Structure formats: structure tokens, C-alpha cells
Amino acid sequence: MNSTPRPKSLAMMFMLGAFLTGGAVGFAAERAVAKPVVLLNDEKSVREELARELRLSEEQKVVMDSAWDWRRARNREIMAVVRPALDSVRDSARVRMMAVLSEEQKETFRKLIERNQRLADSANKARNAPK
């Protein structure tokens, strides 16, 4: 058996390598020059981007902002009813998870829960800050 690659196989390997390299470079370049994506959890940015994209007049912006505010109020009303049930499900799941953990793992898990709660509290505080 001859261990040297045949010209056809060598060409195919080269083409595959060029294709993969080109794809990777293209992906990286697209990420580097692409327009920044508006974060969906940043309502003010979403509103501003929507107004810009739609080229809204000032009157239209007032109506759109009113609709956003109405939506936020309805969401808060719904979450006030649903939140206790969601919290109960979360807490029950945590109890089930804790049952299989060692004491060291439980302590680490508690610290993770506390860290995530601090992050959530910080995000909620920023979200509810006066605009």
C-alpha cells in the first residue's frame, strides 16, 4: 500500500480546510462588523430601536409608549397572581435537588442560589428604576 495521498484526496483535503477556515473567518468578521443587537430585556433600547426602525413620528411614539406602558402594567398584574405558584414550584424542585446532594454540594448549591438571587434583585432594581 502506498501511504502518500493521491492528488485528488490531497485536493479534497485542501478544499475542506479552505472551506472551514473561510467559514470561521467569515463568522468572526460578521460578528466584528455587525450592528449591535438590542437586548430584549432593555425595554428603553427596544422602544428606541423600534421607533428608529419604523421612523415613527412624535405622535406615533406617544401612542407606542402608551401601549408599552399598558403592556407592562398588565404583565405585572398577571405576575402578581402567578408568581407565588412559580416560586412554590421552584422551591419544591430545590428541595428535591438538595435530597441527592452531599453536605458540601448543598453548601455550594445554596451559595449559587444566593448569587443568582442577588443578580436577579440587581436586574429587577435596574429594570424598575425611574426612567
Same-domain check for residues 54 and 84:
yes
Q: Is residue 47 part of a domain?
A: yes
Q: Determine the pLDDT at residue 38.
A: 47
The residue whose grid cell reads 406617544 is 62
Has residue 34 been placed in a domain?
Answer: no
Rounded to whole angstroms, the Cα distance separating 16 from 24 reads: 12
Residuewise pLDDT in 10s, the chain (131 residues): 566 667 777 788 888 888 888 888 877 777 776 665 545 557 788 889 999 999 999 999 999 999 999 999 999 999 999 999 999 999 999 999 999 999 999 999 999 999 999 988 888 777 766 65
89 shares a domain with 47: yes
Contacts of residue 56, defined as CB under 8 A and 6 or more positions apart, other chains included, come to 50, 64
Residues in the chain: 131
> What would the grid cell of residue 58 be?
412624535
Q: What's the pLDDT at 34?
A: 64
Q: What is the pLDDT of residue 25?
A: 81
Question: What is the pLDDT, as a whole number, of residue 45?
Answer: 85
**Domain count across the chain:** 2
Task: Say whether both 58 and 89 belong to one domain.
Answer: yes
Count CB neighbours of 32 within 10 A.
7
Looking at the fold, whether 110 and 120 belong to one and the same domain comes out as yes
Is 81 domain-assigned?
A: yes
pLDDT at 91: 94
In a domain, 79, yes or no: yes
The verdict on 71 and 110 lying in the same domain is no
Write the Ramachandran bin of 28: left for phi over 0, alpha for psi from -120 to 50, otherwise beta: alpha
**Residue 45: domain span:** 39-99
Q: How many C-beta atoms surround the C-beta of residue 40 within 10 A? A: 8
pLDDT value for 10:
76
Same domain (yes/no): 70, 112 = no
